[in-house]
Amino acid sequence: MALFFVEAVKFDGSGERVEKVRWGKSKGGEITPPAFVADPEDADVSKVVEAIENGDEVITKFHVKDSIVMGPLIKVVTNDDGTPGITTAAYEQPGFELNNLPTF
3-state secondary structure 23-72: EEEEHHHCCCCCCECCCCEEEEHHHHHHHHHCCCEEEEEEEECCEEEEEE
pLDDT tens digits, 46-82: 999 999 999 999 999 999 998 888 999 999 999 999 9
Domain count of the fold of the chain: 1
Residues 85-97: b if buried by 16+ CB within 10 A, e if exposed: bbebeeeeeeebe
pLDDT band at 91 (very low <50, low <70, confident <90, very high): very high
pLDDT tens digits, 23-42: 999 887 666 666 777 789 99
Output the pLDDT for position 29.
64
Entry pTM = 0.90
User: In terms of residue numbers, what domain contains 84?
Assistant: 3-100
